[in-house]
Amino acid sequence: MRIVVKVGTSTLAHATGLMNIRRVESLCEVLSDVKNAGHEVILVSSGAIGMGAGKLSLKGRPTDMPTKQAAAAVGQCELMYAYDRLFSQHNHTVAQLLLTGSDIEDEKRRVNFHNTMFRLLELGALPVINENDTVATDEIVIGDNDTLGAIVAQTVQADLLILLSDIDGLYTADPRRDPKAELIPVVESLTPEILALAGGNGTSLGTGGMVTKLRAARIACEAGIDMVIANGVRPADIYRILDGEPVGTRFIGRKRI
């Protein structure tokens, strides 16, 4: 199987913005093992801005563009240094790709991206992808890594997209506000009722995060790719997801005819 795993900042870093070492180590170990089992793995990793802010001792996540971009430049190094070191321990070679919206919209650049990805996979490397936050301004930004993950999955014709987040999956209501909210294990089709569960703008931690996840689900499912939203606190759940066990919410990709 060709699997794209997207991890959010909340999975990779503590609230201080500094790396959650135990979590990142566990994630790299599981993904290395999944690769050893013969699967192809592509990691879409957030965390550049958050970890850059942590490393620069900024108070919270920066809001102005130059500081965000500066933090991303610092944090991206920190991330790749950790991935390179941790995956190397298991004899895997990482490759960094940083993209912006223009790289996806421009036909030529998208083809270049596609070709590089396929060559990296042929060479057995483990691509690690993020938005190029140091140059991505509002006009050319993809904006969030859920969407980027889905675009990557579509480009490499992945079999599965896994979004690891700070929420267990899609709920019937916002579980942070409604104690009766229930996890939806399987979504067969993205009906207006399901799309409405993303809520309005929400907060960055609440249903707001669902908007981009459902957008990603639409891209993935239309490309015939299953997508799973699961909680990143237990990276070993990836094994269970690959075994087809019910973990989080699985969106069923439209069957390709």
Residues interacting with ligand GLU, by CB under 6 A?
Answer: 8-9, 46-50, 72, 130-131, 133, 144-145
Which lies closer to ligand GLU via its Cβ, residue 202 or residue 224?
Answer: 202
Asked if 151 contacts 219 with a C-beta cutoff of 8 angstroms, the reply is: yes
Which lies closer to ligand GLU via its Cβ, residue 49 or residue 74?
Answer: 49
Which lies closer to ligand GLU via its Cβ, residue 32 or residue 45?
Answer: 45
Q: Which two tokens stand for residue 84?
A: 């390179």
**Residue 46 Cβ vs ligand GLU, minimum distance, rounded to whole Å:** 3
Q: Please state, in angstroms and as integers, the Cα–Cα distance from residue 31 to each residue in 74, 238, 248, following that order.
A: 25, 8, 18
Which lies closer to ligand GLU via its Cβ, residue 42 or residue 242?
Answer: 42
Which lies closer to ligand GLU via its Cβ, residue 46 or residue 207?
Answer: 46
Q: Which of 148, 154, 108 is nearest to 130 (CA)?
A: 148
Which lies closer to ligand GLU via its Cβ, residue 152 or residue 242?
Answer: 152
**Residue 49 Cβ vs ligand GLU, minimum distance, rounded to whole Å:** 3
**Residue 251 Cβ vs ligand GLU, minimum distance, rounded to whole Å:** 18
Q: Please state, in angstroms and as integers, the Cα–Cα distance from residue 69 to each residue in 35, 48, 216, following that order.
A: 32, 9, 24
Q: Which of 108, 120, 103, 111 is nearest to 42 (CA)?
A: 120
**Residue 47 Cβ vs ligand GLU, minimum distance, rounded to whole Å:** 5
**Residue 245 Cβ vs ligand GLU, minimum distance, rounded to whole Å:** 26
Give the Cα separation of 164 and 57 in Å (integer): 26
Which DSSP helix (H) or strand (E) runs through 127? strand 126-131
Give the Cα separation of 24 and 102 in Å (integer): 30
**Residue 94 Cβ vs ligand GLU, minimum distance, rounded to whole Å:** 16
Asked if 57 contacts 70 with a C-beta cutoff of 8 angstroms, the reply is: no
**Residue 43 Cβ vs ligand GLU, minimum distance, rounded to whole Å:** 12
Supply the DSSP symbol for 106. S
Q: Which of 3, 5, 65, 78 is nearest to 38 (CA)?
A: 3
Give the Cα separation of 68 and 49 in Å (integer): 6
